[in-house]
Chain A
């Protein structure tokens, strides 16, 4: 029943330290700032409480796959041409593979060995497995089949997600949003969370744009209408203008003069003569050289500025542009010029991103939820506390003290973990209050039973504690299993519930095993009771 001084102190110290971690939550940010980082940790309010946007994007893995196969086709053609293995035109894509028919006078084994050089061992963590990037097999009859291996494609998807996260970060930061969080989820998904953002439409538009910028010449060999009615020339395609530009069709050469990768900077500005919003850009050295040569040779021709297969504008080259600088005009507003500059600075996404889940909570609802959650917590706790006191008197008071410390410890642990508190999470805390007293009820009822069974006061209390503890452990583990499963399958608010429920169970078991017992033990020492007052 009684604890040694050392264990009593360590119990109290543990409880105190855990509770103390909850302290920074009640202090203004400025006060906490000067503390060491481990002491600064605090509970983060979930988006459902503070308001904000949660958007899940998926990387277009099909496009990554296709691109990977298309680039394999290019590589095979190059090898075939360089080594005179046959006709490059027999290199075709079939499903997920590239097939090549070996030329009649070429040794198939020689072709095979040359093509095998394309296959690289996979780097990174996969290097130990001995996996290679391409499977090269002789399909018989002079046909060689090259397939990009699944690990190689997954590796490429992983890279694409990494690149995308980097680019999204640049774009989101440039938009001036506060504390955005951008994380990978699963293999091909990216979760973007922005607190306080009530309408994510602009964010979705900005992130969802691939932002592939190209400078290409307008094809004047026929009019766009003609091309639409008949067929565009093989080396050109019909593209439409942006909404702001008027949306009319253009016939544009497929050949790219300079692309977005060659930009070193892009800034919004105003045209000196018309004072229209524009975007000023700078090329790097090689881009400047290529653009310069092209403009020198083509003064008087139109070139098009194409973003994601839409023509922003198609100005006429009045004079050669050799300084590597220029401006894009396209009936911009100040806002759209700024957004385009952001996109160009951040660079193009390696693959298209599609939003597949969006959850937005406005600031009004968030605040309402906090108010309601608080009210429900106070009322719930008050009712339980009053009921316990009415049922067990002094011992009910002990139970209430234990529950209060229990709740403080839950918040302490949540702070330590920098966990997210959601509305269902608050419900979890309230429920824990209802459940935490159960351990006390189990103990007290057992004590009453033991006393009725004829034990002396202290004996009954001792036996009550000892016998009830096994039951407390058993009954809490089942609930903990449910909470753990919920944590792994749940997302967002539901996960918040699982977290507080799980932590609540741990702190409940701790307080039941130590604190309540300690309080009762000291009370017995102090009062030396003749009867059990419950």
Chain B
């Protein structure tokens, strides 16, 4: 295949680059693809099962890097006003305060430091006292850019609400899908998307990315968007089930996935572009949020709707009896 290829006929000129049409319109996915996606289910199902087990194992062995939202404690982002921050000196100063382990970490530039003080024994008031101590110890050498103190009661509640929120969202969406489709579709979408969440949690465990309230927001958004994708394909499957009465189920699913493939890819490119901009330019404050979302929406979401959510319908008994119809004809 040549690098550049020009096609001229009576409808106009078309230019291809590496086989992809770039003029007059960018066409990432050629028209009328005929990929046999369903055949991959013998690979994708065991692979997903294995990855899910790995993610769950990681969650229990490695755990998540819970931020202060969920375990309580103090987080301070400071910027040195006297040139690059002297981490070693700050570490000695802060560890001498008797506040237990104080973690310091360079944050973005060499003047910025992130300080974490573990939750103090002695209830709510002790947390506030810890901040005062740190502020006194560091004095005016630093500029306090961010200070967050979460007491034991609030952190317990936030964790409970976060978990409850995820469960509620899953149940609410399940009910909606059940209402709009047949129950097999609702169940299939749910299995696929719980699988997304499990893999994303595995990703957060491996990378030890901060797990805080914004992570819950990221997980819920991943849930929403993965479903968005799945629903688009399911809509087409439902339409085709009515239209083609004599098509075998794997063929019908393949045709549905293929005809929505171009849309899936284009949408994922636009979402990825938006997320990429946030990841590169949005700053540290939303970095873990966008990184998680990038993984969940872009990597896992697309794969799931094509390779898990669609073929699982075969196992859930959608369109059983179709194969025999095809062999008759």
Contact = CB atoms under 8 A, between A and B. Distances in A.
* Real binding pair: yes
Contacts of B172: 481, 485
A203 to B, nearest CB: 12
Contacts of A361: 145-146
B147 A359 contact: yes
A356 B176 contact: no
A498 B154 CA distance: 20
Interface in B1-39: 11, 22, 24-28, 31-32
A218 interface: no
Contacts of B276: 380, 383
B231 to A, nearest CB: 4
B270 A441 contact: yes
Interface stretch (A227-235, A313-321, A472-480): A472-480
Contacts of B128: 204, 355, 358
B213 A494 contact: yes
A483 interface: yes
A108 to B, nearest CB: 44
B164 A489 contact: yes
Contact of A58 (B11, B26, B124, B262): B124
B149 interface: yes
Contact of B31 (A433, A452, A494): A452
Interface residues of A, number: 78
B270 A448 contact: no
Contacts, number: 241
Report which residue of B11, B128, B270, B273 has the largest number of chain A beta carbons within 10 angstroms of its beta carbon. B270
A309 to B, nearest CB: 16
A424 B231 contact: no
A480 B286 CA distance: 21
Given A360-B146, A448-B31, A486 B220 contact: yes
B249 interface: no
A471 B278 CA distance: 28
Interface residues of B, number: 81
A434 B274 contact: yes
Interface string A190-215: 00000000110100100000000000
A260 B262 CA distance: 75
Q: Tell me what chain A mostly uses at the interface: helix, strand, loop, or mixed.
A: helix
Contacts of A434: 270-275
Given A384-B273, A481-B176, A356 B143 contact: no
Given A201-B132, A441-B263, A485-B220, A431 B145 contact: no
Contacts of A359: 147-149
Contact of A427 (B135, B147, B289): B289
B216 interface: yes
B290 interface: yes
Given A387-B270, A494-B214, A354 B278 contact: no
Interface in B267-300: 267, 269-278, 280-283, 285-286, 289-290, 293
Contacts of A490: 165, 213, 216-217
Contact of B153 (A58, A383, A392): A58
Nearest to A395: B25
A372 B278 CA distance: 9
Interface stretch (B200-208, B221-229, B314-322): B221-229
Interface string B227-254: 1110110011001000000000000000
Nearest to B147: A360
Report which residue of B239, B259, B267 has the largest number of chain A beta carbons within 10 angstroms of its beta carbon. B267
Contacts of B79: 364
Given A204-B128, A427-B289, A478-B177, A357 B217 contact: no
Contacts of A489: 161-162, 164-165, 168, 216
A203 B124 CA distance: 17
Report which residue of A56, A392, A441 has the largest number of chain B beta carbons within 10 angstroms of its beta carbon. A441
A501 interface: yes
Given A376-B283, A476-B228, 11 more contacts: A355-B149, A379-B281, A388-B270, A423-B283, A424-B289, A427-B282, A430-B277, A431-B293, A448-B262, A486-B165, A498-B217
Interface of B: 11, 22, 24-28, 31-32, 77, 79, 124-125, 128, 131-132, 135, 143-151, 153-154, 161-162, 164-165, 168-169, 172-173, 176-177, 180, 213-214, 216-217, 220-221, 223-225, 227-229, 231-232, 235-236, 239, 259-260, 262-263, 266-267, 269-278, 280-283, 285-286, 289-290, 293
28 contacts: A58-B124, A355-B149, A359-B148, A364-B79, A368-B283, A372-B285, A376-B280, A380-B274, A384-B274, A392-B25, A427-B286, A427-B289, A427-B290, A433-B274, A434-B274, A435-B271, A441-B266, A441-B267, A441-B270, A452-B31, A478-B231, A482-B224, A488-B165, A489-B168, A490-B213, A490-B216, A493-B214, A534-B25
